[in-house]
Structure formats: C-alpha cells, structure tokens
Structure 1
Amino acid sequence: MRLIVREDAASVAEYVANYILGRIKDFGPSPTRPFVLGLPTGSSPMAVYQILAAKYKAGEVSFENVITFNMDEYVGVPRDHPQSYHSFMWNHFFSHVNCRPENVHILNGNAPDVEAGCAQFEAAIEAVGGIDLFLAGVGEDGHVAFNEPGSSLASRTRVKTLAYDTILANSRFFDNDVSQVPKMALTVGVRTVLDAREVVTIALGARKAVALQRCIENGVNHMWTLSALQLHRHSMVVADEDATLELQVKTVKVRNHRPLYLSLATLTIVSVFQIN
C-alpha cells in the first residue's frame, strides 16, 4: 500500500483526478477494449469529478469507452430522489462527460429482487473482465463502500444494514434528519473491491484520521474494512495533511516535488508537499 499525502483537500482532488486521467490515457480504451472504472459517491470524490469533467470539456480525455460501476445505492429510495446515488452520479459527473448510458452501472435499490440484482451486478463486472481502477472513500469508522465494521473481508455485492454512525454521518444530506436516512443499502463487497486491478482511496480531514491510522498502521481487521487494502498488490491512499494526524509514522515535508519514500512492511508513505 502507498500513502500519498497532499497539503489539503483541493490538492488531493487534483492529484487523484490527474492520476485517473493518466491511467485512462495510458490504457487507451477502445470499443473492444474499454477501461473499467469503479466509482464512489459522497463528499470526498466530488471535487475529483469536477476536475475530470473540466478535463473532458477541455478535450483532454474521453469517457466514451469507459465502463463504470458504482459502489453502492440506498434501498427504497427512488432513483430520481435528489439523495439517491443515481441522482448524485448523474448530477455531479455523468451528465458532464460523454459516458454512454449503457456503460453506466448503478445498483437498483428498488428492484423487485434486490439480491438477484446484486448477483447480476457481480456478473456484469466479470463479463467486462473486471474493474481496472476502483476509486473509493473511507468512512470515519474505516468502512469502504457500505461494508460496515464487522463485514466479511470475503464479501460480495449484497444488501447491507447500515450502522447508526453511518446513518448519522449521512443525515447531513437529509436536512440533518436521521429519521429520513435509509437504513439499508446495496453495496459491493470487500472482495469485490479487492478484485480490482488497482484501488485508489481518498481520505480527507481530521475526522478520518483515526480510521486512516487503524487501516494502514494496524493489522488487517474486519472491524476496519478498508484495512483489507493492505492485502492488495496495487492500492494507494491519497490523504490531506489533516487526515494523517493520528499516524504514528510521521510524514516528512520536502522542499521539492520529488517524493520521499519511507518504506515499512506493508506501507510506503509518499510526502509531496512543497515549502516555498
């Protein structure tokens, strides 16, 4: 696992967006060989989506041959509800780029048989050859997607009851009314994320500091499901400085753009600050 530390949230978004852009360009997707991208919702990736949309409008990248799979969706929330993840993705990203609608895959929380829908979602990922890059966020309790503490590290896409802390955190999107937040969601599993050829996780703010420390400096633990990325051959966490406050292995600021690597058994810390 690599940890890349940037000064603030804006710098994190710029780094991640440029990284994804580079991966797509290097891959050179075509109709017969599309690039498959896993995507999250929430506040952490919003600036990344804005930058990617701006890059598309500037003619720097095309999403025509990019297939996407979203991490999760609420159960029982209509797809046109302003807080559904379907609405989120179309409002913040898909309507601003040239992704083909048939290439967009978002779990259906209103399907007649949601469990069958989850199985079909996994089959669809397999049918396109797997996910090339999965972008992720991390919850304050260390969860990835809606794989709450205690989730199996071998889990696949499924129905999941949300932890109260997650419901409370998401109430900010529902006028701070906890009673309006759905109690169940559909989510990709930990194993689904680990099967991606590459995973890039965003960690922003002091509220994520404890989770980041548990997930990268402690052992793999199903109570902090993001920690499973320690087992991934090509995973990276991009964090702002505030999110690193609890780390026991401290980062070092350098005076140029060349990264400084501090190698541990399972972690490489890359500090890329510039001091003027």
Structure 2
Amino acid sequence: MNVRVFASEMEAAAACAAYVAAAVREKPALVLGLPIGRTPLNVYREMVVQHRRGELDFSRVTTFNLDEFLGLPPDDPGSFRAYMERHLFQHVNLARERIHFLDGSADRAERECARYDAQLAGAGGLDVLLLGIGPNGQVGCNEPGESLQAVSHRARLSRESRLAMASLFGDDVSKVPLAALTLGMGAILQARRVILLAFGVNKAAAVTAMVRGPLSTHCPASFLQLHGNVEVWVDFEAGRGLDGSR
C-alpha cells in the first residue's frame, strides 16, 4: 500500500479527481468503480468541475457502483443510484448505457448479484476502483464478520453502517434499509488500481488496522494488503495512527 497523508480533505479530493482524469486520458474507455457516502462527495464535485473545464471526458467511460440498498428501486430518493445521479451522473457526459448498478428492487437478489458479476466480467473488470472505508473496516457493504464473500451478495448492514447512511433519509436511521446488495471482495481485489480515501478522526482506527494490522475478516479492508496497486489517501486525522507514512 502506498499511503499519502494530505493536509486537507479538499486537497485529497482534488488529487483523486485529477488521478481519474489522467487515467481516462490514458484509457478513454476506462472501467471505473464508484462508491457512495460522504467520503467521495468532494471527489465527485471536483470531477464535475474538471469535466466542465474540458479536462475530464466521460463519453467512453463505463461505471460500476459498489452497492445498492436492498428493496429500493433506482428512482427512490434514498437509493444509491439517486445519490449518484444527484452528485455525478447528471452533471457529466457519461452515456446512460455505460452506467451499471445493482438493482435493489430485483425479485431475486441472488440472481441479480450473479447478473452483475457477469456484466462486470464482460466489461473486463475494473480498471480503477475508488473506495471509502467504514469506521469498522467495511469496504462497499462487505461488513466485518466471521467470513467474507468473494462474489456479489446480499449483506446485512451493521447499525454503525446504517447510522453512517442516515443522511440519505433525513438523518432518520429507522428509515435506512437493513440490507444491501454489494460487490464481493473478489471484484474489489481484482481491480487493477485502487484508491481508498478516508477522512476524519473516526476513520483513524480502521485505517491503522487496514494498513498495519493483520489480515482479518473483522477488518475487510485489511485484505487490500494483498493487492499490488493500492493508494491510501487520508487527511491528518484519519492518518494519525500511521506515523511512518508521513
């Protein structure tokens, strides 16, 4: 893992958007993996700014999002798809047919997950994957537990994760769905390049466990230690446990 500590979240977000823009210039038909949550918000804002400046062309880019709430249709205001529409998709020239998402309202979750894995494999896998990390070491909706799943699957969300997502539902955690569909660890670890972003003191323990700790299913992000091309970009607060990284 290549750890980089930034002076601020905004500095890291601008660097991440510039990294993606450079990757798209290098490979215009880039396959890009995208997260939701508070962490990537400024990255998406910076991407929109770069697009408007003519520095980031999404016309041939293909996207796959990491996850979606189980039971919510794409047009539900609380869905991850609606989040992406608000913060990125509506503001750039990404072709609609190149946007890929798990359908949380599908009748059969297992069949939907298998469809998504096949679609990603057909696209050749992820060239660049942007990730956040939960305070519990979660990546995507791969929660800590006794085991992890390699393939896309239905995941029960921890209360900690649901609290983090409550802003999508007016800060009412009782309205946050109990489960989600998510890419498995296999697709995450097979991405050719990964950038993991973490900001704030509440992420410090998870970042330290991911980078310095042993591989453990109780910190899913720790398995990124097995990946050969991972950038971990944090602010001072999130990186406070990584003394050797500065």
Instruction: Report the TM range for the smaller structure's normalisation.
Output: over 0.9
Q: In structure 1, how many angstroms separate the alpha carbons of the residues matched to 2:180 and 2:149?
A: 18
Q: Deviations over 1:189-233 (max 9, x none)?
A: 111100111111100100100000111001111100011110001
Contact 1:153–1:191 under 8 Å retained in 2: no
User: 1:14 — aligned with what?
Assistant: 14
Q: Are the aligned partners of 1:153 and 1:228 in contact in 2 as well (CA < 8 Å)?
A: no
One-letter amino acid of the counterpart of residue 220, structure 2: T
Q: Cα deviations across residues 24-45 of structure 1 (Å, max 9, x unaligned)?
A: 1122x2xxxx210000001111
Length, aligned pairs only: 246
Q: Give the corresponding residue for 2:130.
A: 135
Between structures 1 and 2, the one with greater helix share = 2
Equivalent in the alignment of 2:181: 186
Whole-Å Cα distance in 2 between the matches of residues 187 and 152 of structure 1? 15
Report the AA paired with residue 105 of structure 1. H
State yes or no: 1:159 paired with 2:154: yes
Measure the CA separation in 1 of the matches of 2:32 and 2:2: 20
Sort the Cα spacing of 1:21 and 1:152 in 2 relative to 1 into closer, same or farther, 3 A: farther
Match of 1:266 in 2: none
Consecutive aligned runs of 4 or more in structure 1 exceeding 3 Å deviation = 151-154
Q: Which residue of 1 aligns with 2:190?
A: 195
1:35 to 30, 38, 50: 30
Mapped to 2, the partners of 1:118 and 1:8 lie a distance apart of 37
Using the TM superposition, give the Cα deviation of residue 21 of structure 1 relative to its aligned residue in structure 2, in angstroms: 1.0
- Note if 1:220 corresponds to 2:215: yes
The answer to whether the 8 Å contact 1:152/1:190 transfers is no
Match of 2:58 in 1: 63
Partner SS, residue 242 of structure 1? coil
What is the rounded CA distance, in whole Å, between the counterparts of 1:144 and 1:113 in structure 2? 23
Q: CA deviation at 1:151?
A: 6.2
In the TM superposition, residue 169 of structure 1 has moved relative to its aligned partner by 2.2
Per the alignment, residue 94 of structure 2 pairs with 99
Contact 2:70–2:180 (CA under 8 A) maintained in structure 1: yes
Structure 1 residues not aligned, in runs of 5+: 252-268, 272-276
Structure 2 residues not aligned, in runs of 5+: none
Q: Give the Cα–Cα distance (whole angstroms) in 2 for the partners of residues 161 and 123 of structure 1.
A: 23
| Overall identity of the aligned pairs, in % | 36
Given residue 71 of structure 2, which amino acid in structure 1 is its aligned partner? Answer: G
Considering only CA atoms, is the larger Rg found in Structure 1 or Structure 2? 1
SS of the aligned residue for 1:236 comes to strand
The answer to whether the 8 Å contact 1:151/1:225 transfers is no
